[in-house]
Amino acid sequence: MSDDESERKPHEFSEGQGLDEDYEEFTLDPEELQADPSQVDPVDTRVITDLLDERNIPKDRVDVESLMEVGLSYMGINRFEEATETFERAAQFADDDSLEGQEAWVNKGVAHAQLEEWDEAIGAYREALRIDEDSEHAASAETNLAYALYENGQGEQALEHAENAVEIDPRFPQAWYNRGFFLVERGLLEDAVTAFDNAIRLGMRNAEVLEEKARALDELGREDEAERAAERAEEIREEAEQRMVEEHAEGGAGATGAGATGAGGSGAMGGGMNGSRGGMGGAGGPGGLGGRDGDDDLDLGGL
């Protein structure tokens, strides 16, 4: 056999019948999921980040109030990242520029603040105020914004927003507390003492507000009054510690904690001082989780 003949003769393994007609083409593309979002409960936390999407679920099929409750539950167990996502979705599915949406933005800001994500918190509060600057949630947004700006190194803007909160709702104790703190920072001590007294009269009777008042009085040279305020603050701390000991001895029922409440809406985490919803933190700074009695969105209102 010549070399030319061997080159022209086809190899056996190249001769065959080919592939069957029903051969399924191989692909690296992922299999398409067949989940029906309309059959999924929008507040089911197992699927909330995957299937709750405007393209698949109409707004009128989503219970925004239940979403808010899910977010607040996340806050209650310190799962703040999940809370931010849930509040964002609540805002997404709320009616455009509604009070419900505004509440969701305030709560989202609080969750970011708990993570010390100040830029995100500030953005959420500003979005809440864009919706309505005079609503029932606006005071919470303003005082929370003041706190976030202070923590973000923008203290020069904080007093303005603390003042706004007091103007919107003069009966908001945490707003008065924050106003007093920022007035001390500016050296306006007499006005600061008045602000702290207003917070106390409105029900913010915790150690922190008394310690800040004592600081202002001391800088004014009113040593006797400062000493009395500081002593009362220490008494309150001791009383709180004693209650915690007693509750622990009784099996831990009724544990105290930071209140996460605020300007109203769909329900909130409880907690706070003396049965009211407010107050977490320590002296030396504004903010802390708090809110107004009987109100419902989260609030970084006063220590």
299 in any annotated domain: yes
Report, as an integer, the average pLDDT of 271-284. Answer: 28
In a domain, 145, yes or no: no
Total number of domains in the chain:
2
Q: Quick one: average pLDDT of 64-81? A: 93
220 and 119 both lie in a single domain: no
Q: What is the pTM of this model?
A: 0.66
Pick from 39, 56, 124, 125: which is nearest to 93 by CA? 56
User: Which domain range does residue 209 map to?
Assistant: 172-264+280-303
pLDDT in tens, 164-201: 999 999 999 999 999 999 999 999 999 999 999 999 99
Question: Residues 131, 176: one domain?
Answer: no
Q: Does 29 map to a domain?
A: no
Contacts of 213 (CB under 8 A, 6+ apart): 180, 193, 196, 197, 200, 229
220 and 114, same structural domain?
Answer: no
| 181 and 243 both lie in a single domain | yes
Residue 294 lies in a domain: yes
What is the structure's pLDDT at 7?
59
pLDDT tens digits for range 87-116: 999 999 888 889 999 999 999 999 999 999
Q: Does any domain span residue 37? A: no
Shared domain for 103 and 215, answered yes or no, is no
